[in-house]
Structure 1
Amino acid sequence: MHRLSTFLILTLLYLASSGAPSCLAASPAATPFYTFNQSPLVQIFGLPAAESATIQKPGRFWGLLSSDVANNYTFGDNSREKILLDGESYRTTFAVRYGVADRFEVGADLPLVGYSGGALDGLIEGWHDIFGLPQGGRKQAPHDRLDFDYQRDGRDRLHLASSNFGLGDLRLNGAWQLYQDAGAASTRAVALRASLKLPTGSSERLRGSGSTDLALWLTGCDDYLVSQGRMHLALFGAAGLLALSDADVLPDRQNHLVGFGSFGAGWSPRDWIAFKAQLSSHSPFYRSDLPEMGWTALQLLFGGTLSFTPQTALDIGFSEDVRVSTSPDLGLHLGLSHQF
């Protein structure tokens, strides 16, 4: 997986070096991180990334290669349920968007999803020790183990302990530019986006859910130019609903309607760099008293963007579970995008 990602990143960098006549409608400071909750019990569904509030112009392509690595360790139980999520997940996404007409774009996301015991457990324990953060039982658990297990009423309902990697659930996307005002001092935009997730990945190996999911959401940004046009300050956000058909994973515990949203801010002191922070949340995907399944998630993403050219940018982000156990302990996000 890592060799494939490296090869594709180098390919996109080569294409970017040729340049292109288009430019970004809003600065990288106004663009959300293209990622979402990577919990193994959540990322199998059609929860979308917020995405940009500006869509592609007619005849223009936007391509993305993103990679998410998430380290999970959480254990919970009550009188009827018990859950253990211990392992690392990997998600590499190939995404494309194309402007088919004025104010309208279409696209698709093809993810590759995998799980293994990983190698970050020791690093995360050291990080927690340095900053005085709770370990939550990490030090008593074996290092670099893969064990996802859920029991209800004494019966195993879900179990994954073998490393695997393969195709995830394909997503088809569309967007309509509802509003855009690119004035001399600011860029304000609102887009209506939709995503249809198809059950192309293996639900048995947690590379898909087995359900067909439809998401509809609004995304907006307000990007200000200050300091004689050399600095950007931006706000961005999104809110929407996700409707799910019956899944193969824990179908009797599944919720069929999930709300989600995000809000963030960015600061770009120069054209080539931006710093961003983003809070993302969603309602539970399952009916459960366990926080890993039945609580509303709240996740913090922070990092920035390096713009190699006006058409090519690299997002580097880290995620933390603000509401503990509702998302992975730590996640790393890399997203290389290019406009053609």
Structure 2
Amino acid sequence: MFGRLRARILLSAALGLIPLSAQADRFMNLRNEAALARGFGLPALGRAHLAEDKAWILSADLSNEYHASQDGGSALLLDGETARYAIEYRRRIGARMELGVELPLLHQSGGFMDSAIENWHDWFSLPNGGRDEAEQDQYRYRYVESGETLLDVTDRGTRLGEARLLAAWTLGADTALRGAIKLPTGDADRLSGNDAVALSAWLDHAWQRGAWSAYLSGGGLYAAQGEVLREHQRRWVALGGAGLGWQARPALRFLVQLNAHSALYENVEDDVLRRAGLQLGIGAAIRLSPGSEFHIGFQEDPVVASSPDFSLHFALAFE
């Protein structure tokens, strides 16, 4: 008994000495992956420390969404699956600055997760929102307002997403001011982008107490007018996020994250498009070496239909 107690005390002490910037600073690289949110350039939050020298993130996100509603002359259908593969590179510039770039590739299709998600919802007695009555594995995004079709996309395929230029400036030991410029490298006609530039800026602040780590983030973005539901886009969007990590073992951390943003569209008849977004992410970080981690997790939508029903996240982060 005393041997186990002593081992736990030693382990807790060792975990408390882990530098935050080397291990507990790494949270999952999550954002709202919905097709109608993609063109706004919503950033991944929760990175309060700059890279020691160079940093890479290789990520894959598989997102599935479904929503169908109709009211009089208005109808909204969001049905599709997107695999997003991205390479992010960041480099330290001097003592206080960091610059980087992110390049994404999208594969948009009907996917294969529809039946698995329906079973998941049934298992936990969650509503399927009409999934079980819809065509399986179709890809279609359609919005009709007052009898006029404003959006109708069925084109599947693999294509370039919208690249980002990244920058950061350290404001202290555990705080960073970050910014991003989303470039119009995607295609609005295929929902791989919005044919417009978007600028975002936010603060990330982190804490660590023993085996526990956390972050809090807040900021905003400005999106130039693009082509997806052009007349209904909001130009200014508020951003927020929080995360909590627990170092269960020297090589294993469990992570819980929340991302939020204000509504992306306005003056639309369907209330789903007027909703603010909230995404809940749950996952784990597995330490592979002193400078690298593998992240695995999933993301759900506590605010229904404001983001994909279900997303899987995989990433390799290393310096």
Output the TM-score relative to the length of structure 2.
Answer: 0.91
In 1, Cα distance between equivalents of 2:255 and 2:237: 26
Do 1:292 and 1:327's aligned partners in 2 also have CA atoms closer than 8 Å? no
How far is 1:44 from its partner?
A: 2.4
Equivalent residue runs for 1:1-340 within 5 Å: 25-26=20-21, 28-57=23-52, 60-180=53-173, 189-225=174-210, 232-287=211-266, 288-339=268-319
- The share of aligned pairs that are identical, in percent, is 34
| SS of aligned partner of 2:188 | coil
Deviation track 1:63-89 (CA, whole Å, cap 9, x = no partner) reads 111111011111123345321011101
Unaligned segments of structure 2, at least 5 residues? 1-17
In 2, Cα distance between equivalents of 1:93 and 1:244: 21
In 1, Cα distance between equivalents of 2:272 and 2:300: 14
Q: 1:314 to 1:337 in 2, by over 3 A?
A: same
In 2, Cα distance between equivalents of 1:29 and 1:74: 36
Deviation track 1:28-52 (CA, whole Å, cap 9, x = no partner) reads 4443321201110002221100041
In 1, Cα distance between equivalents of 2:270 and 2:287: 41
In 1, Cα distance between equivalents of 2:292 and 2:76: 42
Q: 1:315 to 1:289 in 2, by over 3 A?
A: farther
Amino acid at match of 1:215: S
Number of equivalences: 301
Q: 1:90 to 1:36 in 2, by over 3 A?
A: same
In 1, Cα distance between equivalents of 2:281 and 2:270: 23
Deviation track 1:74-122 (CA, whole Å, cap 9, x = no partner) reads 1123345321011101111110000011011000011112210001111
Amino acid at match of 2:57: L
In 2, Cα distance between equivalents of 1:262 and 1:241: 11
How far is 1:292 from its partner?
A: 3.3
Do 1:85 and 1:148's aligned partners in 2 also have CA atoms closer than 8 Å? yes
Unaligned segments of structure 1, at least 5 residues? 1-22, 181-188, 226-231
Do 2:182 and 2:199's aligned partners in 1 also have CA atoms closer than 8 Å? yes
| SS of aligned partner of 1:139 | helix
Deviation track 1:274-323 (CA, whole Å, cap 9, x = no partner) reads 00101111011111353432101111100110010011111111011101
CA RMSD of aligned residues (A): 1.5
| SS of aligned partner of 1:44 | helix
| SS of aligned partner of 1:259 | strand
Query: Which residue of the partner structure matches residue 15 of structure 2?
Result: none
Do 1:28 and 1:305's aligned partners in 2 also have CA atoms closer than 8 Å? no
How far is 1:62 from its partner?
A: 0.2
Do 2:294 and 2:315's aligned partners in 1 also have CA atoms closer than 8 Å? yes
Amino acid at match of 2:118: E
How far is 1:329 from its partner?
A: 0.7
Do 1:289 and 1:295's aligned partners in 2 also have CA atoms closer than 8 Å? no
Do 1:255 and 1:285's aligned partners in 2 also have CA atoms closer than 8 Å? yes
Do 1:313 and 1:336's aligned partners in 2 also have CA atoms closer than 8 Å? yes
Amino acid at match of 2:199: L
